[in-house]
Amino acid sequence: IVRSKKHRTFGGAAERSEAERVLFRMGDPAQEGPGALLLGGCKELLRGCLDKNYIDTTSFDVLQPAIDYYLENGDPTEKLRTYYYQGRIFQNKKDRDNALNSFIKGIDVSNGSDDSLYIARTLVAQAAQYSEFYDFDSYTNCHLRASKIYKRLSRKWNEFDCLLNALNGSIALNNQAKGDSILALCNEFKNLDSIQNLTLNEYKLSHALKFGNNQDIENLIKNQEDNSNLDTNGLLNLALAYNKVGKDVKAVHLLGSINNGHEYDTLKYLAVSVPVLENIGDYKNALSVYKTFSHKMDSINTFRFDQKSKSIEEKHQIELQAEQDAREKTNSVEDYMEKYPSLVFVLDV
């Protein structure tokens, strides 16, 4: 997955004040009990938001009592934000399963919330977890949903980031129709800065490599011949582009530079290397690399199947719990009517 160079969590000064309002609104300093407990934890989170632009705590020690309180007693917006911060902390702990479950539950309880910004942020965070599990359908759909919310909020650069990631997902899914429509939306954005323009060109090259012809690829190569600003993924895309148009010597040179001290996506590096090695006649190494690639893909496919089964079971449990909660609320109303029939009669009149 290509990641936008302008990844945003809370953004600039305008969003910092929003973070402060959100965190302190969820805990009233004038109150005792869970609200006060949350306030103490919120100060720690707030410090991270303001100083580092992200939440970096990995501990629930201070927040857990307050999290329990708001998930039990909070309104839809409070529950949404609580699940969002809970998921972020799980992310920091490298606990992918619980992070994803927190974000899923956040979206599930967001009906009735008017905090569109946090719904969008939760969808983006959820998408990031789906990419960890190679679930590119869900990854793409979450980014598309978030992009529509950001558009309604007139946050065009957040919308742009989400569309780029959705484009990337459609390429991974080999869905040309969706990829074409998303790319058309990306091309409508004007006044891109140098980094945004570079990132968009990388995505265009990825799209052309999957769905375009050699002429499309040649045209996009010209925009990236000076590759000094490309990240590792961009270099791998450029190496594959050289291979597609028969310039394998240049492809070999790029692969050599990537394999020389750079951090890179091993799977993609192997996938690009196989056709390059074949084209230069190094069949022995091409076969060796292909076997390594196939073994890793088998492992990933097994992991994806296991995770999909687990996610389905988790979603089923969430739905069962929601049904149980609804039944309990219904029973509570019926019990009340039985205990206080005269009051119910008065209300009916």
Write out pLDDT tens, residues 35-64.
444 545 554 544 444 334 456 677 787 778
Please report which confidence band the pLDDT of residue 150 belongs to, taking 50, 70 and 90 as the band edges.
Answer: very high
pLDDT of residue 312: 54
SS (H, E, C) the chain: CCCCCCCCCCCCHHHHHHHHHHHHHCCCCCCCCHHHHHHHHHHHHHHHHHHHCCCCCCCCCCCHHHHHHHHHHCCHHHHHHHHHHHHHHHHHCCCHHHHHHHHHHHHHCCCCCCCHHHHHHHHHHHHHHHHHCCCHHHHHHHHHHHHHHHHHCCCHHHHHHHHHHHHHHHHHCCCHHHHHHHHHHHCCCCCCCHHHHHHHHHHHHHHHHHHCCHHHHHHHHHCCCCHHHCCHHHHHHHHHHHHHCCCHHHHHHHHHHHCCCCCCCHHHHHHHHHHHHHHCCCHHHHHHHHHHHHHHHHHHHHHHHHHHHHHHHHHHHHHHHHHHHHHHHHHHHHHHHHHCHHHHHHHHC
- Among 23-32, 191-200, 222-231, which is the least confidently predicted range? 23-32
Question: Does the structure show a pLDDT above 80 at 275?
Answer: yes
pLDDT at 305 (0 to 100): 60
Q: What is the per-residue pLDDT across 306-332, written as a single tens digit (0 to 9) for each?
A: 665 565 566 556 546 655 655 554 454
The residue ranking higher by pLDDT, 2 or 208, is: 208
Nearest of 22, 57, 51 to residue 39 by alpha carbon: 22
Does residue 90 or residue 308 have the better pLDDT? 90
Contact in structure between 41 and 66 (CB atoms under 8 Å): yes
Q: Residue 156: what pLDDT? A: 95
CA–centroid distance for 296 within its chain: 23
pLDDT at 212: 92
Report the range of poorest mean pLDDT among 15-24, 290-299, 324-333: 15-24
pLDDT, greater one: 329 or 107: 107
User: CA angle, corner 115, sides to 110 and 120, nearest 5?
Assistant: 75
Residue 79 has pLDDT above 90, yes or no: yes
Query: With 50 as the cut, is the pLDDT of residue 133 above it?
Result: yes
What average pLDDT does the segment 159-180 reach? 96
- Regarding pTM above 0.75, the answer is no
Q: Which residue has the tokens 């799980």?
A: 90
Given a cut of 80, whether residue 280 has pLDDT beyond it is yes
Please determine, for residue 175, whether its predicted confidence score (pLDDT) is greater than 90.
yes
Is residue 18 predicted with pLDDT exceeding 50?
Answer: no
Tell me what the mean pLDDT of segment 211-220 comes to: 92
Q: Tell me what percent of the residues of the chain surpass a pLDDT of 70.
A: 68
